[in-house]
Amino acid sequence: MKHTLKKLSETTVQATVTLDDKDLATAKRLGVSHLAPKVKVPGFRAGKVPADVAEKHLDPVALANEVAEHAINIALNDVATAESLRVLDQPKVDLKDFTPYESMTFEATIEILPEIKLGDYKKLKVKKAKVAVTDPEVDEVVERMRSQLSEKKEVKRVAEFGDSVNIDFLGKMDGEAFDGGAAKGYELGLGTSSFIPGFEEAIVGHKAGEKFDVPLSFHPAATRVLGLVTPRSVG
């Protein structure tokens, strides 16, 4: 393979590549290997036809196109490696001359990453900010880690703040269930304020298996009731 490289801009180069019969022989082997599994030859199972036999049954035009594609891809990879190009996009190829299995010449316009010039970063200075950590902040993190890593055990008593409960609930407004207001097997931490105000407080004092209604206000103009709240477990 022979090639020349011309710089068109900071981000674009043009490679002119010439391939000989040896270069194309490699591409031909790849082309035949790629097309052979699709060839049907009497006496051979599909996909088991030897390459030399399959080649005789291939469409010459299809094989030539396959060889050209492999030859161009191999050549462009070699050019990029030889010239240390950092290619950004698929090159645009213009095939100038192609005599199947004998010679090929093409031009490729290649988008590349421009050369990056670093400034005098060694003189840059950064002022380190002072960080003060208070005892309450440390306690908060420790408590959060304790909560996340704690082992849950099912208990038989009534639910208390700090427990995690597994509940089924059904929300209703004016006696009718509404979308998004029901769930089964919902894990809820009592005291986390992660649910509707008043809901967690209403569960406190109930045991697993109890069913009860919880009147709750979502908006001054509307009152919805979460009914049939059934704690499955308390832990």
Q: What is the CATH number of the domain that holds 176?
A: 3.10.50.40
Where residue 65 sits, what CATH number does that domain have? 3.30.70.1050
What is the domain extent for residue 59? Answer: 2-111
**Residue 137 is assigned to a structural domain of this protein:** no
Amino acid making up residue 45: R
**Residue 58 is assigned to a structural domain of this protein:** yes
What's the predicted TM-score (pTM) here?
A: 0.48
Write down which residue in 111, 133, 167 finishes a domain.
111
**Residue 142 is assigned to a structural domain of this protein:** no
**What is the β-pairing status of strands 92-99 and 2-9?**
unpaired
Per-residue pLDDT of the chain (235 residues; tens, 9 = 90+): 999 999 999 999 999 999 999 999 999 989 888 887 777 787 777 777 777 777 777 888 988 999 999 999 999 999 999 999 999 999 999 999 999 889 999 999 999 998 888 888 888 888 888 889 999 999 999 988 887 787 778 888 898 888 888 899 888 888 888 887 888 888 888 888 888 888 889 889 998 888 888 888 765 444 444 444 455 555 5
Q: Same domain for 6 and 107?
A: yes
Q: Same domain for 189 and 93?
A: no
Q: Which of 79, 132, 147, 141 is nearest to 108 (CA)?
A: 79
Q: Which of 146, 140, 191 is nearest to 165 (CA)?
A: 191
Check residue 116 and report its DSSP letter.
P
Measure CA of the first residue to CA of the last residue in the chain; give whole Å: 74
Q: Same domain for 104 and 171?
A: no
Are the C-beta atoms of 164 and 235 separated by less than 8 Å?
yes
Check residue 84 and report its DSSP letter.
T
Q: Same domain for 9 and 101?
A: yes
Are the C-beta atoms of 225 and 161 separated by less than 8 Å?
no
**Residue 31 is assigned to a structural domain of this protein:** yes
CA distances for 47 relative to 33, 61, 78, 119, angstroms: 10, 21, 31, 58
Please give the pLDDT value at position 220.
Answer: 46
**Residue 147 is assigned to a structural domain of this protein:** no
Q: Same domain for 83 and 12?
A: yes
**Residue 70 is assigned to a structural domain of this protein:** yes
Please state, in angstroms and rounded to a whole number, the distance separating the CA atoms of residues 186 and 165.
Answer: 8
Instruction: Please give the order of strands across the beta sheet that includes 92-99.
Output: 2-9, 12-19, 103-111, 92-99
Q: Same domain for 199 and 106?
A: no
Please give the pLDDT value at position 224.
Answer: 43
Please give the pLDDT value at position 225.
Answer: 44
What is the total count of domains within the chain? 2
Q: Same domain for 158 and 69?
A: no
**Residue 25 is assigned to a structural domain of this protein:** yes
**Residue 117 is assigned to a structural domain of this protein:** no
Are the C-beta atoms of 76 and 15 separated by less than 8 Å?
yes
Dihedral angle over CA of 30, 33, 34, 37, nearest 10:
180
Q: Same domain for 95 and 188?
A: no
Write down which residue in 78, 111, 144 finishes a domain.
111
Amino acid making up residue 123: K
**What is the β-pairing status of strands 2-9 and 12-19?**
antiparallel
Q: Same domain for 182 and 95?
A: no
Place of tokens 């996009």: 89
CA distances for 60 relative to 6, 74, 123, 178, 192, angstroms: 34, 21, 65, 68, 73
Six-digit token string for 190: 């009592």
